[in-house]
Amino acid sequence: MSILKPISVRLDDKGRLTLPRSVREALHAQPGDVFFLQPEEDGVRIVRTENPFDALAKEAIREDDVGETIALDDILKREGISIDE
């Protein structure tokens, strides 16, 4: 994504900034997305990231879809762990 010109935004009375539509569209940003703010010498860098729990869930679903998952019973047996009392 490349935004060629600076875009100004105004801090509201609650300390919030609104990302303009053009920026949200360029980033494919959706409500609930997570952003990191990195203070820099002359401002702040805003970077969109993925919630780590969402990333883990997506990976677990992918593994299940392609048959890469292991049943809990198989893991316990492999590790020699018994949960029977």
Predicted confidence (pLDDT) at residue 1 exceeds the cutoff of 70: no
Domain boundaries, the chain: 16-49, 51-85
**pLDDT tens profile 32-83:** 888 999 999 999 998 888 878 888 899 999 998 999 888 888 889 899 898 8
CA–CA gap between residue 34 and residue 48 (Å, rounded): 6
CA–CA gap between residue 58 and residue 66 (Å, rounded): 13
Write the DSSP symbol of residue 35.
E
pTM exceeds 0.75: no
CA–CA gap between residue 57 and residue 52 (Å, rounded): 9
